Amino acid sequence: MKPLKLSLATLAMATLSTLAAQNVHSGELIYQPINPSFGGDPFVGNYLLNKAQSQDTNEDPNTAGFEPSSPTERLIQSLESRLISQLIADVGSGELNEGSFNSNDFGVVIRDDGGQLVINVTDRVTGDVTSINVGGLGVGGF
């Protein structure tokens, strides 16, 4: 018996014909989204958000010089807000025809202009005036 000499081309052809003869099975490919924004499971949303936030290394450039308000500043803001609210209520109920409030940053003038509440806010730094008109001011206030 003579030994067979196989060339590389003959070996490649034999391998390819063996592979081509095998049955190939596949199933239907179904896309299932993960992100709830695109139709995925809504219970995965918090998990994805937490993962994204933990990987976020960007910093807001506007917060570089941000310092939280001191307790005194928060108290002053709260008192100013309460005083302006009371002033609006007094003018709206008819107890006052006009009232004003001044602080270091702004001045507020509130008046009843024939059934319409007019609020003028003046920025003391720039001098800009913002006017807010609220209609429907009637007997008994707001």
Domain ranges of the chain: 72-135
What rounded mean pLDDT belongs to the chain?
Answer: 81
Q: Give the model's confidence band at 30: pLDDT under 50 very low, under 70 low, under 90 confident, else very high.
A: confident
What is the percentage of the chain residues whose pLDDT exceeds 90?
Answer: 9
pTM: 0.47
The span from the CA of 111 to the CA of 109, in Å, is 7
pLDDT digits (tens, 9 = 90+) for 52-107: 999 988 887 777 777 888 888 899 889 888 988 888 888 878 788 888 888 888 89
